[in-house]
Chains A and B, each alone.
Chain A
Amino acid sequence: AQSVAQPEDQVNVAEGNPLTVKCTYSVSGNPYLFWYVQYPNRGLQFLLKYITGDNLVKGSYGFEAEFNKSQTSFHLKKPSALVSDSALYFCAFRLMDTGRRALTFGSGTRLQVQP
């Protein structure tokens, strides 16, 4: 089955330190990859996407993600965490060339940034 895994339920990091939220995918075919963030009682906000080309993708709020085809990973990173980054983060994929627009989401990782 095609899936995306977020191996950590929670990531704790001190404010000002770099953060990484991990995502690996298992698909047959080429995926478009996305990161979304969800704040309490809110919908999902788009952060960034990998379509093709440069493996390092830059997104909103200083976030970036690195696509690694050999490791089938798409980890989310930020050089310096803010307390306001505390939220629930979701990795998702959509398969290319299938006509399907449905996103398949990981289980989510809660990021806690301590002051």
Chain B
Amino acid sequence: KAGVTQTPRYLIKTRGQQVTLSCSPISGHRSVSWYQQTPGQGLQFLFEYFSETQRNKGNFPGRFSGRQFSNSRSEMNVSTLELGDSALYLCASSLRQQNTEAFFGQGTRLTVV
């Protein structure tokens, strides 16, 4: 069974640009969540999608957005990049039930210069 796939693995962008990250969940998993990991703030929840609808959102500015497609694949977009957006962005997929664990992809390392 294939795991969670995130593309690309690494990205370098310039301040002010925008970026789109992609996540393909485990087959059969319809819930996809995104997290940002930085040395200073640790792991922080960005948002969760289920059945193409955003179900929950973390405390991030509107520059961070996402969507989910009918095949459960998800993308997140960051517009007007800032230096502080440099981070490892992790996608997690899971079954819908709350008591199930999330499975994480290897992440996309975004560097903003």
**Hey, which bits of chain A sit against chain B, CB under 8 A?**
32, 34, 36, 41-46, 49, 51, 90, 92, 94, 96-108
**What would 6 more interface pairs be, CB under 8 Å, given A43-B6, A43-B90, A94-B98?**
A32-B98, A46-B104, A90-B43, A101-B55, A101-B56, A108-B42
Do most interface residues of chain B lie in helix, strand or loop, or is the interface mixed?
Answer: strand
Alpha-carbon distance between A104 and B55 when the two chains are bound, in angstroms: 16
Within 8 A of A (CB), among B20-46: 31, 33, 35, 42-43, 45
Interface CB pairs A-B, < 8 A, 7: A44-B104, A49-B101, A98-B98, A101-B31, A102-B48, A103-B43, A105-B43
Q: What residues of A have a CB within 8 angstroms of the CB of B104 in the complex?
A: 36, 43-46
Alpha-carbon distance between A107 and B105 when the two chains are bound, in angstroms: 19
Beyond A101-B48, A102-B56, whether A43 also contacts B42 by CB under 8 A is no
Q: Count contacts between A and B, CB distance < 8 Å.
A: 67
A14 to chain B: closest CB distance in Å?
28
B107 at the binding interface (Cβ < 8 Å):
yes
Q: What residues of B have a CB within 8 angstroms of the CB of A105 in the complex?
A: 35, 42-43
The 9 closest A-B pairs by CB, nearest first: A43-B104, A105-B43, A102-B45, A44-B104, A43-B106, A46-B101, A51-B99, A43-B107, A107-B42
CB–CB A46/B107 < 8 A: no
Q: How many B residues, CB 8 Å from partner? A: 26
B94 at the binding interface (Cβ < 8 Å):
yes
B30 to chain A: closest CB distance in Å?
11
Q: What residues of B have a CB within 8 angstroms of the CB of A100 in the complex?
A: 48, 55-56, 98
Alpha-carbon distance between A106 and B37 when the two chains are bound, in angstroms: 12
Nearest chain A residue, comparing its CB with the CB of B47:
A102
B103 at the binding interface (Cβ < 8 Å):
yes
Q: What residues of A have a CB within 8 angstroms of the CB of B107 in the complex?
A: 42-43
CB–CB B33/A101 < 8 A: yes
Q: What residues of A have a CB within 8 angstroms of the CB of B109 in the complex?
A: 41
Q: What residues of A have a CB within 8 angstroms of the CB of B87 in the complex?
A: none
Q: What residues of A have a CB within 8 angstroms of the CB of B98 in the complex?
A: 32, 94, 96-101
Q: What residues of A have a CB within 8 angstroms of the CB of B90 in the complex?
A: 43-44
